[in-house]
Amino acid sequence: MNNRTATYSFLLGATLLFFMTAIMLCTSIYFLLGIPVTAFSFWLAVFVALTCMLAMIAVFVPRHRRIWLLALLAGLGLVVGSSWVISANTFDLSFDGQTYHQEAIILLKNGWNPVHDAPVSKPLPQTIETMDSKEILSAFHLWINHYAKGPWMLDAVMYKLTDQIEVGKIFNLLLIAASFFFSLAALRVAFPAKKRLGIVLALLLAGNPVSVTQATSYYIDGQLGSLVLIICALGYLLLKRYHIWIVLALCSALMLLAQIKFTALVYAVLLGCALLVLFFFYDRQKRWKSLLAWLAASLVVTVLVVGYNPYVTNTLGKGHPFYPLAGKGAVDIMTSNSPRDFKDIGSLSKLAISLFAKSENIARPNETTLKWPFTVSLSELAAFVSPDVRVAGFGPWFGGAVLIALLLALGLLVGAERKKAVPFFIASGILLVTVLVNPESWWARYVPQLWLIPVIVALAGWETRSTWLRRGSTILIGVLFVNMLLVGSAHLLSQAFINAMARQQLQDIQATDKTMVVDFRHFNANRVRLQEAGILFVEKKIADGQNVETIVGSRAVYYLQ
């Protein structure tokens, strides 16, 4: 990388990536050795990341290395410091975040070892009977015991270090930042003369609506979107220059991706295989064998060491690595979470409806509502208070952007310069395969990588000499940027409002000097928030109809005595 901006961006992104990988790898090895979560993993990861940064400076920076070191430390300080402050001063008020995600983090922080200790117990029958029948709330123990635990390891280490549960959300922000840096590095290498364009497109790529709306929660799909983007950028950089540090960064990103959730392991394998195929056909020096060895080694470590729980334990104990979502006794989590009109229709039909429907966070018995492209309503924007908008979850203008992208793709295919578009079509095709392989691709948070495809199509259009294609690409990027701003501003404003409500509620309870009698109603992680706020509380079953208040952002109820 001869471009200074590309080099600086790569070094920043790689340092952040190695830091997160080191925490996860260290914690996983500790679990295998019978050692619970410890703050030492954080400090060891800091040492590993800084050591790697120094080694990369020695390789990629020919002179003025002290200045580069100071600049990189300043960049890291700004990114990590701002992410830490944002995470520590916001509440995760999401449904999944306040239930099984935080519950798993609390268990890990308090010493539960998922490899050696007994699984989390199933709730008592009388507790299950009181739960909401619309959701599989009694299955929280299944998610904690059997889901991938990569993000929970990172979060639990930060919770152990700081004794503040909200700080663990920092990794959502760090991965967004890393995806921006890697994207910028790849774009500056691909288009060295287009400096401002590289920054704008890197912001657009990293500002994936799924990542942005989950940034201050413990949802994990935004991390998946950021990591897929990172892998794409690293894959391009590796094709341009095969270097051991780029390979190590790629393996780290694939390892982190595979530990997010079951579908993420499938995505990681597909992306790794696709890159191998590209190297087989396009790399003149035939280094695909070397890459295959690295990817195979990282897969072994990913599954047998970092992913021993759940992939090995699920296979040995339940007969399928993806239990409880597959195999004998699989749990159906989609029927109750899908709009009613999605029943008995194919995955492509559901995806098409979701792309061109009104943005809504709906499930049964509600149905989707189709709308005209490029229209937007206040109710659509209001839906993005949630981190997991079900229908049209990429934003109110994304369907229109898809239409423009399809027209551009058609123009590129029939145009005289279609050969120039081949690399862009290959990249888009690889990503589209990872989208379509998921039968529930209609839900944006399950396929955040879909956001990248229109941007890639726009890049292909810009590379032609056709005035119409270039103008169409500019319009497409403008539409995507407006859509990103609509979703991001709606989510950030609503989260600021609801966070202020939650903070004020805690202050009001504190001011009474009374004891809080609370029924958490499966939002048990709220007990940590109350403890950190210094509020005395007693857990008690509260019958429906009593005069109670609701804890902001949850279904937990309470009264003061």
Cα–Cα distance between 152 and 112 in angstroms, integer?
12
H or E stretch covering 333: none
Give the dihedral sign, CA 173/114/522/336. Answer: positive
Strands 549-550 and 516-519, how do they pair? unpaired
| Cα 29 to the center of its chain, rounded Å | 24
Closest CA to 418 of 466, 379, 372: 466
Closest CA to 52 of 22, 29, 28: 22
Structure tokens at 451: 């956001």
What is the model's pLDDT at position 133?
A: 39
List all residues 6 or more positions away from 490 whose beta carbon is below 8 Å from its beta carbon: 381, 382, 384, 385
Q: DSSP letters of 180-246?
A: HHHHHHHHHHH-TT-HHHHHHHHHHHHT-HHHHHTTTSS--HHHHHHHHHHHHHHHHHHHH---HHH
Structure tokens at 220: 């994990």
| Cα 539 to the center of its chain, rounded Å | 33
Cα–Cα distance between 61 and 64 in angstroms, integer?
8
| Cα 18 to the center of its chain, rounded Å | 17
Q: DSSP letters of 388-401?
A: ---BTTT-TTHHHH
pLDDT along the chain (561 residues), means of 10: 90 98 98 97 98 97 95 98 97 94 96 94 54 49 93 98 97 98 96 89 97 97 98 96 97 98 97 96 91 97 96 95 90 89 94 97 93 96 95 97 97 89 94 97 97 97 92 97 97 96 96 93 91 94 89 94 91
Whether the link from the prior residue into 62 is cis, omega within 30° of 0, is: no
Query: What is the residue type of 14?
Result: A
In a 13 Å sphere around the CA of 261, the CA atoms on its Cβ side amount to 17
CA angle centred on 80, ends 78 and 85, rounded to 5°:
95
What is the model's pLDDT at position 131?
A: 44
Residue at token pair 């279609």: 418
Residue at token pair 């403890």: 531
Provide the whole-model pTM: 0.95
Closest CA to 182 of 252, 243, 237, 242: 237
H or E stretch covering 452: helix 452-462
Domain boundaries in the chain? 4-119+132-311, 340-491, 513-560
Residue at token pair 């994207």: 183
Residues linked to residue 357 through DSSP beta bridges, in sequence order: 370
536 three-state secondary structure: coil
Cα–Cα distance between 458 and 410 in angstroms, integer?
12
| Cα 244 to the center of its chain, rounded Å | 26
Q: Are the CB atoms for 154 and 171 separated by under 8 Å?
A: yes
For the chain, give the number of residues. Answer: 561
Cα–Cα distance between 551 and 555 in angstroms, integer?
7
What is the model's pLDDT at position 140?
A: 82
Residues linked to residue 538 through DSSP beta bridges, in sequence order: 517
Q: What single DSSP character describes residue 101?
A: I
Residue at token pair 């390892």: 255
What is the model's pLDDT at position 545?
A: 81
Cα–Cα distance between 247 and 79 in angstroms, integer?
24
Closest CA to 502 of 162, 44, 94, 107: 94
